[in-house]
Structure 1
Amino acid sequence: MRIGIAGAGIAGLTLAWLLDGVHESVVLEARADLGGNLRSQRFIDTHGTPRMVDLGVHSVSLEAFPLFSRLTNALGLGADDWVSAPASHTIEVAEQEAPFFQGPLTASAGDEEAEGDGLPPRDAGQAVTTLVRESAKWAARGLDWQVPLRDMVEPWPWPTALKENVVYALAASLWGCDLARASTLSARAVAALFADEAPAGSTPLTQTLRHGMQDVAWRLAAQLNSADLRPGTALRGIRRAGDRLAMVDATGVPHEVDAVVLAVPADAAARALQDLPDAETARRALASYRYADINQGLHLDPCYVARAPRHRSTTNITVEGSWALGCIRRRFEDSAEVYVSQLDHRANLPRRLLARTTFRTLLPTPAMFAAQRRLGPLQGRGGLHFAGHVVARGATQEAAVATAVDTARRLGCDSARLKTLAPS
């Protein structure tokens, strides 16, 4: 078969890689670059040393992401390619001198007092412990993905400041929305990022790639033999061509295929389906998805972190009014530092701004998860499939790769590469 894939993010590229040698594929990508939210930037640090740093997805947990870990192993990435670092957070509130919270997002050993429906936390640290433990409970009892975060948090006997500056601020900084919107996101989606499985009292570790996370995308592309990869070529629409489908690119050229996989944002997918009368149900579902735009900047000056170096963490969040703005601090082996920050809603931009880019982040709203349920039965109908974040359960590389694996199986792929991703 010949498979058409729209989108060369991690899901689309992984799917093409899995199908390679079994089915032919043509991959259309609107951006000139590959990888979607995997965006690595080369720069020269203050020591004059060339570095790679990520403006998009900057770290993963290989322990928590077994499928993604097996994929990177299959691509030839070994232990020496990864750098492990403690995952710590600092939350500052504008016009307060001391950090509101500093530490790992994990449960504290021996601290059992504060529960969501029990006593109010004594401080922000105990609030984080409660959030982590409650998040694990939501997942364990199968809380519906359509339950808003505020429905779970507002009944807690917490001061408003703890709810806003801890729970809602953490979510808002990740998805680029304000605190009010963060409270409306899916509680399960937020919990998926904070339900920590590390032992109580320990600090979780995350991993970054020495040559940038986009190296995963480049390696996937380099190992494609039977795929026609076309970066800088957007999908304009899809139409029926007898018993087949035709993907029409932005230049008007049709690419006839036996099946189409849409691994693009929901609005782009809906536009591509406009000329297919039998895709009305899918278009209505896709209309329920909402995005936020985040402008990210790479800079050398520590303008968005705590003044005292001892108060700086891997992830630094500043709560200013209705916004919680994130800044990632990357520290290299020789103590050189660089920062990747959200630039929106800042009073001043960094003086030493090296690069900037814009992302669209999908907001995991209850309406989105309701739409996912409607898309599920449509998978494969009329040769149309969906992959990537529009059908993924979480905003992680693990979830995106899982959608590629599921789609490959629906397309009848039984490749050796697919077998390498199966649990041993």
Structure 2
Amino acid sequence: MTRSPVGMRLGIAGGGVAGLALAWLLETDHDVVLLEKRDRLGGNTDTRSLQHGGRAFCVDLGVREVPDDRRSLWHRISRLTGFLPERSPVPASRTVFRDPRGTSVWSFAGKHGGAARYGPQVLPARDVLERLVEQCALLEAQNSGWNRTLGALLAERGLSGTPAAQAVCALPASVHGCTLDEALSLSARSVGPLLSELGPEDGRPAYTSLVAGGAGGLSQALAGDLRTASIRLGVALRRLVPLDRGPGLVGSDETVHPVDAVALALPAESAKHAVGALPGAERVHAALARVPYRDLLYGLHTDPFGMPADRRAWSVSNVALHAPWAETTTWLGPALGPDLFVSQLTRRRSMPRLPLMTSRFRTRLPTPAAHRAVDRLAAAQGEGHLFFAGHCATHDDSQESALASAVAVAEQLAPDSPRLRRLRETRKEATR
């Protein structure tokens, strides 16, 4: 790779939104090579196109929701890349029910709006939810408190082992692909925002926004705006090795890429294997090893598999309890028109009758140990010319946090990068 006038060679592993944003921010100053093990870019966004009922649709099998705030990094970077998506507001409605009978245990802000409705066994959960929301807001304001678990909070309220506890655990278990019991070990501060939408019974339906054309559009826009960065699809990072002038990336094709600095925008488990051979990386390796993961399989289908038996109970998000698991079916009808559904299929006892496509993901469990690992990686950022971005470097898995982690690395490596300067200007413009 030819050395740029500014002079640094940067290797990035991971072609999700964090890795792409970092390449985009730095390619004007550095020579950049990016390795991505899949044959596509976007990471946990996976936007698919399909024809249905004579119409064309874009459907997200992975990340769907993006920030609404025009001051967010997501919006500001979108504008700079020329990606100006339309947005489709949909109710942030949820129903939790017992599968296969379809008995609703609670629902919130259904398709007609309205207040939360709780089954008789779940009424005690109202108090837990309200207190959890309050405590998470306080912990967020204090920027502390990742070590307290959801199970500890339920135990304090005397609800351990009750139907109410199972209902409270259903949503985090479905989002993170863990069992209902494992959800008890998750950080309360992490799961608090998920549960807050089920909380106050004020009669006002909440709304969220989906991106017309799919959430993967930003990744495509970033990749399309790259001018000099080299992207190697289908090449995983096998390992990092020490070379005379700095680290080297060894790809799955056994090509060695000598670089001056490395940014790992990978799941922690992949990053752990990559740094295993680096001398002096023992502390980083130990931190990465403490982050647990689970597999998730999502499928798009046209039959109402995974939905409550009573259509009047349908919400946009429908969580079926089939202990010890809880899995979600998202109803895309309110956003797209026709009845299309995206279901978690990882551990279902049966499958949809009319599956159209599937996609697999690995998701991090936000345990207290995982949050401590994020803090340890932050403290080691830049040591041995090694940097971290993406969800192994953030306390939540949102696209906004992934972008923020990329900006933080870019600020260290090239604070005067033209695109970074322009990004700062858009923040000022957005606040006017």
Does the TM-score normalized on the shorter chain lie above 0.5? Answer: yes
Match of 1:413 among 412, 415, 429: 415
Structure 2 counterpart of 1:350: 352
How many angstroms apart in 2 are the aligned matches of 1:305 and 1:316? 6
Structure 1 counterpart of 2:171: 170
Alignment of 1:29 onto 2:31 = no
How many angstroms apart in 2 are the aligned matches of 1:421 and 1:91? 41
Counterpart AA for 2:178: C
How many angstroms apart in 1 are the aligned matches of 2:405 and 2:27? 17
How many angstroms apart in 1 are the aligned matches of 2:62 and 2:141? 30
Q: Deviations over 1:322-357 (max 9, x none)?
A: 111111111256731211101122121001000011
Structure 1 residues 148 and 212, CA, compared in 2 at 3 Å: closer, same or farther?
Answer: same
Alignment of 1:6 onto 2:7 = no
Contact 1:109 1:201 survives alignment (8 Å): yes
Q: Deviations over 1:367-407 (max 9, x none)?
A: 11122222222111111111111111112111111100100
How many angstroms apart in 2 are the aligned matches of 1:382 and 1:31? 27
Contact 1:245 1:259 survives alignment (8 Å): yes
> Structure 2 length normalisation: TM-score?
0.88
Counterpart AA for 2:186: L
Match of 1:58 among 29, 54, 64: 64
How many angstroms apart in 1 are the aligned matches of 2:286 and 2:93? 40
Structure 1 residues 420 and 207, CA, compared in 2 at 3 Å: closer, same or farther?
Answer: farther
Paired residues in the alignment total: 411
Contact 2:171 2:194 survives alignment (8 Å): no
Structure 1 residues 174 and 44, CA, compared in 2 at 3 Å: closer, same or farther?
Answer: same
Structure 2 counterpart of 1:378: 380
TM-fit CA distance, 1:300: 0.6
SS of the residue corresponding to residue 76 of structure 1 reads coil
SS of the residue corresponding to residue 44 of structure 2 reads coil
How many angstroms apart in 2 are the aligned matches of 1:18 and 1:150? 41
Match of 1:269 among 265, 268, 271: 271
Contact 1:65 1:398 survives alignment (8 Å): no
Match of 1:361 among 360, 363, 376: 363
How many angstroms apart in 1 are the aligned matches of 2:297 and 2:38? 17
TM-fit CA distance, 1:20: 2.3
Counterpart AA for 2:395: R
Task: Tell me which moved more, 410-419 or 213-222.
Answer: 410-419
Structure 1 residues 372 and 173, CA, compared in 2 at 3 Å: closer, same or farther?
Answer: same
Structure 1 counterpart of 2:47: 40
Contact 2:115 2:204 survives alignment (8 Å): no
Contact 2:83 2:217 survives alignment (8 Å): no
Counterpart AA for 1:170: L
SS of the residue corresponding to residue 53 of structure 1 reads strand
TM-fit CA distance, 1:140: 3.2
Q: Deviations over 1:147-172 (max 9, x none)?
A: 2221122211448111211x211100
Contact 2:101 2:309 survives alignment (8 Å): no
Structure 2 counterpart of 1:18: 25
How many angstroms apart in 2 are the aligned matches of 1:126 and 1:336? 37
How many angstroms apart in 2 are the aligned matches of 1:110 and 1:205? 13
Match of 1:287 among 289, 293, 301: 289
Unaligned runs of 5+ in 1: 112-119
Structure 1 residues 421 and 207, CA, compared in 2 at 3 Å: closer, same or farther?
Answer: farther
Structure 1 counterpart of 2:157: 156
Unaligned runs of 5+ in 2: 1-7
Q: Deviations over 1:206-265 (max 9, x none)?
A: 221221111111110000012001111111111122122211111111111110001111
Alignment of 1:72 onto 2:78 = yes
Structure 2 counterpart of 1:116: none
Counterpart AA for 1:292: R
Contact 1:136 1:195 survives alignment (8 Å): no
How many angstroms apart in 2 are the aligned matches of 1:267 and 1:207? 31
TM-fit CA distance, 1:414: 2.1
Within a 5 Å distance, the mapping from 1:3-402 to structure 2 comes to: 3-45=10-52, 47-63=53-69, 66-78=72-84, 81-94=86-99, 98-104=103-109, 122=123, 128-158=129-159, 160-165=162-167, 167-195=168-196, 201-331=203-333, 335-402=337-404
> Structure 1 length normalisation: TM-score?
0.90
SS of the residue corresponding to residue 362 of structure 2 reads strand
Task: Tell me which moved more, 384-393 or 271-280.
Answer: 271-280
How many angstroms apart in 2 are the aligned matches of 1:252 and 1:95? 49
Contact 2:171 2:195 survives alignment (8 Å): no
TM-fit CA distance, 1:139: 2.4
Counterpart AA for 1:183: L
